[in-house]
Amino acid sequence: MNDLHKALGDIGSIRRQVARSTQFRGYGPATLLATCLFAISAAGAQALWVPDPDHHVNGYLIIWVTTAILSAALTGTQMYTRSRRIHSGISNEMMQMAVEQFLPSVGAGLLLTFVLLRSVPGAVWMLPGLWQVIFSLGIFSSCRFLPRLVVAAGVWYLLTGLVCLGLAGSSALSPWAMGIPFGMGQLFVAGVLLFAAREACDAA
């Protein structure tokens, strides 16, 4: 029995090692394009329904948190089905690795939002910039098993986040302070993934 457990442990270690050296292809270009459209739509919805976010912070948060949840749900669903199809035998290890790389950023963003709303409501204008900076850190963490050009998206989100923080005040809560960075950023990542997928098909 001990030999069996040791053999299973060795197989698990080999699978994890293979997963670490394999490019993750669970993120689909179409899904990333959809999240781009979600961001643009959310910006339009905010411009229409929450024209004064300084005095309607709850409405602002409802729009963008809902958009984030929808994007995460769509990405997670396709990541599961796509990984099962493409990575087959090591799909569980690949998905676990992807989640472990990005989850700390998601948790930090949620906790930071809660703390600002509860303890420093006057600093809520900082949220769009901070969300983008935190999102960039998640991308940087994930870059090692994604196409190399994805690092440019991390740089994009970092720079746009810093610009939003530099705007200060009500301008930072403009619908396009979120719509443009996330719309353009997700569109760029979708393009990178599409190019990488075509290269993989050509190589095969």
Q: With a threshold of 0.75, does the pTM exceed it?
A: yes
Domain contains 117: yes
Residue 121 lies in a domain: yes
Cα–Cα separations (whole angstroms), residue 31 to 54, 60, 64, 89: 32, 24, 18, 23
Who wins on pLDDT, 200 or 143? 143
pLDDT band at 13 (very low <50, low <70, confident <90, very high): low
pLDDT tens-digit profile of 162-198?
A: 999 998 776 889 999 999 999 999 999 999 999 987 8
* Residues of the domain holding 79: 27-197
Residue 79 has pLDDT above 50, yes or no: yes
The answer as to whether 12 is a domain residue is: no
Cβ–Cβ < 8 Å for 5, 37: no
Question: What pLDDT does 145 receive?
Answer: 86
How many structural domains is the chain composed of?
A: 1
The rounded percent of the chain whose pLDDT value lies above 70 is 86
Q: Is residue 35 part of a domain?
A: yes
Average pLDDT of 138-146?
91
User: Which of 108, 42, 34, 106 has the alpha carbon at shortest distance from 75?
Assistant: 34
